[in-house]
Structure 1
């Protein structure tokens, strides 16, 4: 959304990709073609848990599928876990940062956490190393190491709040 909607003032992307994978993205008259999944690269552990890391094609070979993040008007914060077993989030974020730097864009920042997995959530959320994925009816790996993942959740939550407050302004108090 931040790439195509000019009214987006700030975006936090946690372990996202830099491209469209598997299914096309449609927005008005725009259709971004997907990078096809390489299902033959899917790994299944002895206990039946799926590892998706090998099914995503190389965005450099599918430039039509790469999101033009550098066109975003608002600020972007990329948060990645380096032990993500769903996406190669670090590589996707690094690509985005390199493209931004090459164009002299400064509206993107990166927080990268060694040992953190895919499911970086608010502090005190337990590490979700694997869980059931209804769309494929089997469990999948998300990755992460408990101590490092917990530390990433605490630090990233603070940084996400600072980022949003800085770029979107103060919020009203909540009744929750």
Structure 2
């Protein structure tokens, strides 16, 4: 993974090939993106993002300070049923109007996980592209495209939290409803 987001690496992306799901297809909890645990998170607000980000920051700080130690490896708190380390990004993507369908904290807090890095898979429309590229700048994240979906990946929890913070900053203090900002 690179140290910074480089939009030029993705300029050849065929935006017309991005997958999108509407209505019942995205609302059906039967496995969007081949995820058996998929839940429809559309409609999250910027107030939700701020709340999740604050909670996630506190829990990560507690873990780093040794104030929280998992009972078993990989056993840790979740934030609104999302893994610690990616919850804020998942919620921010939803507030942006994207459809997150899977996420993993990549063993950031120990335990067995499917991914080797923190990662969030989501569906986005071509109109989301420029905003997503802008949010990636300076956040030490990578945006990849695979099989019609976008994947946001980072090495550290702090990098993911930085991405979510940038999204909140861009939304502004009064933003409360889902939008593309």
TM-score, normalised on structure 1? Answer: 0.27
Larger helix share, 1 or 2: 2
Please say which structure displays the higher CA radius of gyration.
Answer: 1
TM-score (norm 2): 0.26
Which structure features the higher share of strand residues? Answer: 1
Higher relative contact order (CA 8 A, sep 6+): 2
